[in-house]
Structure 1
């Protein structure tokens, strides 16, 4: 490769990383804005009830609907991502997420429209879920496949840090409008963070439209290995890899939703802690997340992705009961500190996870496999986590039941992580009986 070509490749790599990361920030801003709103806004405005337990359960149910829709998005965009390329699929997901969020900000509330208000909110949430279901895998592949084999963990972790950055932007914008609107927050102030998405949407589409398709996918096209039905093929040929992906992600996803959604609502309701104070805690945690995830992605390139991920899973298991005990003190300063510290076991996993999952599948089926496994996991771990925790608390009458749930997800992920293999360790393609010729040789 001559100097001019090498320079052009490096320039496009930087653009691809920027486009995938910025796009991820925008899409996760939309998604996490709803998550926080489901704890502090929607129970009051869209799911009013004389019983706070019922209101909370209904609001968290609408949150779960978005997660249920994510595998649908994974199937749709996994198909197109492995058929027509990563870039084109990602532009569509951005439009879908952005428009859904803007619609939410324009919806009448229950007091104006009655039962149609939560119904329309749920429909918009479904489209959000479909969009983000295709986003995660595509963004990490866009970055990882433009990077080198020796830095795949770091490159794939950058868009995953966009998850934290999206949470950060959502927390900052929400906190800003809580402060600006004051007593009018539940009248009109809550709408502004959702409408703010229009600015992010335009910026994201412009940036993503200017990048080229990844070299790995171009090789798949050149070698005529593009699958006709990638979702069906990955399920048929790599069912074990899909299942292990589902389970290994549980200890990263479920606790994160517990930390940032359920426990926030719990602290507001039981200890009467100011919602703005708790949003600030999430903001600080999100800032650290933006740095920690790429850091541990880099570490995973040095000592192995599986090894780093196992460290994160074990720490999550050990943290479960101390975390709940400290949160249950009801002391604002302790809750603030613990909310920030709770992100570290998650961040360790978040740094190693993207490449660990992506490299479990061959390039030509990678979008479909990574998307399907991760998004089914999002349903059975993250999406229903607040509902499970609300139910456990209601039935057992102790918050320590939530700690047991966190510990359970960690044990499941520990087993799955031990069993998962890099695709290059699978000697043959189960579907054809032949070796793939274009797979990078990278060790987990």
Structure 2
């Protein structure tokens, strides 16, 4: 397929490769910044917000209240997916990604200035909730565009899983930077971290946003969207159209993510509350362990994305879902020993099943939708999981432990999520190594799962 921009001369092979590299770098760095913002909030929620914004509540109740604000960001994600999915399929991937970056970054920057309960009472929590919602809207529109910016520049069909896994790399990279920032500032003496130190990483996010904006302004639109534009195949209401044409793919995408997303937020957000209060672990040890786990994902996410190109996207994903369901019990058996070494090892290994799914996940979901509806469909399917999995996970984990006083109850919840994902991913179509540059509904045959089959 010749790569062109509207009204432009086709790109040479060298220019094409250069644009692919730029697209991958821009998507990866952009998602790293956005996930830094999002995870920073996750970490500080468990360590700081309950004390500063709900000081008069019982510790458990205060934690639940703080995680409720945390969950608002997840409820906002499908809203962002609907808004930016529409514009991503209407005006292009690049322009939409610039807006999501600014929205997310400015909301995070503003968190640094929110007064505490001691200053303005409950209004501090209200302001946090509004900013968290805006953060969630930005993230809701970010993922789909980042994945498509990389995947739709892939020159051949045989390595789309690997190329699309690089925006996913932004998750462990953002997690690493956020944990590193909090770990460094938590070394402050006395109550300095609790008083003002926690605000510094939020303040610094504006610098990262400026870097990401510069990078994204210097990439071209993807060849697939440029082709849709030149052939006048842009839908007037792509979100409504994808809901009409591919509702099954949207819901299967959401449920397929349950085994990936729910355990992830238990292992990276709830772990701070559980580790400090129940296991007696130090905050610094937990932060260091999550840092190590995120570094491991630097390698495992692209590795499993590559493996999905070899053995098939759906097969790789189902292996990961099964591993996640089993590992929950292994995880709590290890951490409940209260031995710092076992706790550290469990946390480091906790993200391996996540990588097994998250590596191939971008291509698995994005490939399920036809090109002119891809931003809308992939974004909505991906972000709906935030409502049923990611957002409620720390809340459900906290409630289960409060009732059963056992981590194995949480492991049972992870197993249920894994079963949902296994069934959903089994029902999804597998487009590994198939052509996704043509529209799926242009009179071609359907596969055995009821999906339009792309041409080889």
What TM-score results when the alignment is normalised by the length of structure 1? Answer: 0.95
Matched, 1:29 2:29: no
Match runs of 1:15-26 below 5 Å:
15-26=22-33
8 A Cα contact 1:66 1:127, kept in partner: yes
8 A Cα contact 2:41 2:70, kept in partner: yes
Question: Cα distance, 1:274 vs. partner?
Answer: 1.3
Q: Which 10-residue stretch deviates more, 66-75 or 41-50?
A: 41-50
How many Å separate the matches in 2 of 1:278 and 1:301? 34
How many Å separate the matches in 1 of 2:265 and 2:454? 34
How many Å separate the matches in 1 of 2:455 and 2:408? 41
Selected match of 2:76 from 44, 61, 69: 69
Match runs of 1:226-237 below 5 Å:
226-237=234-245
How many Å separate the matches in 1 of 2:416 and 2:250? 20
How many Å separate the matches in 1 of 2:444 and 2:243? 18
Show the counterpart of 2:406. Answer: 398
8 A Cα contact 1:181 1:189, kept in partner: no
8 A Cα contact 2:279 2:335, kept in partner: no
Cα separation, partners in 2 of 1:358 and 1:181, compared to 1, 3 Å: farther
Q: Which 10-residue stretch deviates more, 43-52 or 32-41?
A: 43-52
How many Å separate the matches in 1 of 2:150 and 2:11? 21
Question: Cα distance, 1:181 vs. partner?
Answer: 5.3
Show the counterpart of 1:272. Answer: 280
Show the counterpart of 2:5. Answer: none
For this pair of structures, how many residues does the alignment match? 439
Q: Secondary structure at the match of 2:200?
A: helix
Q: Deviations over 1:180-215 (max 9, x none)?
A: 455310011111011010110100001001110000
How many Å separate the matches in 1 of 2:138 and 2:43? 18
Selected match of 2:443 from 434, 437, 440: 434
Show the counterpart of 1:136. Answer: 143
How many Å separate the matches in 2 of 1:206 and 1:182? 39
Q: Secondary structure at the match of 1:48?
A: coil
Show the counterpart of 2:48. Answer: 41
8 A Cα contact 1:93 1:132, kept in partner: yes
Cα separation, partners in 2 of 1:200 and 1:302, compared to 1, 3 Å: same
Match runs of 1:107-126 below 5 Å:
107-126=114-133
Question: Cα distance, 1:433 vs. partner?
Answer: 7.0
Q: Secondary structure at the match of 1:434?
A: coil
Question: Cα distance, 1:174 vs. partner?
Answer: 1.1
Q: Deviations over 1:337-369 (max 9, x none)?
A: 100001110011111100000011001111111
Show the counterpart of 1:330. Answer: 338
Question: Cα distance, 1:333 vs. partner?
Answer: 1.5
Q: Which 10-residue stretch deviates more, 416-425 or 147-156?
A: 416-425
Show the counterpart of 1:243. Answer: 251
Show the counterpart of 1:411. Answer: 419
How many Å separate the matches in 1 of 2:271 and 2:338? 11
How many Å separate the matches in 1 of 2:195 and 2:453? 54
Q: Deviations over 1:228-279 (max 9, x none)?
A: 1111111111111111001001100000001011122111111232112101
Matched, 1:189 2:189: no
How many Å separate the matches in 1 of 2:231 and 2:189? 57
Q: Deviations over 1:127-172 (max 9, x none)?
A: 0000000111110110111113211000110000111101011011
How many Å separate the matches in 1 of 2:340 and 2:223? 50
Q: Secondary structure at the match of 1:146?
A: coil
Matched, 1:379 2:391: no
Match runs of 1:44-55 below 5 Å:
44-55=51-62
Matched, 1:355 2:360: no
What TM-score results when the alignment is normalised by the length of structure 2? Answer: 0.92
Q: Deviations over 1:381-403 (max 9, x none)?
A: 00010111111112223221101
8 A Cα contact 1:361 1:422, kept in partner: no
How many Å separate the matches in 1 of 2:165 and 2:374? 16
8 A Cα contact 2:312 2:430, kept in partner: no
Q: Give the unaligned 5+ runs of structure 2.
A: 3-8, 446-451
Match runs of 1:138-153 below 5 Å:
138-148=145-155, 149-153=157-161
How many Å separate the matches in 2 of 1:183 and 1:119? 24
Q: Secondary structure at the match of 2:219?
A: coil
Selected match of 2:16 from 9, 12, 36: 9
Q: Secondary structure at the match of 2:232?
A: coil
RMSD: 2.1
Matched, 1:165 2:164: no
Q: Give the unaligned 5+ runs of structure 1.
A: none
Q: Which runs of 4+ in 1 moved over 4 A?
A: 1-4, 423-426, 439-443
Pick the structure with more helix per residue. 1
Cα separation, partners in 2 of 1:418 and 1:319, compared to 1, 3 Å: same
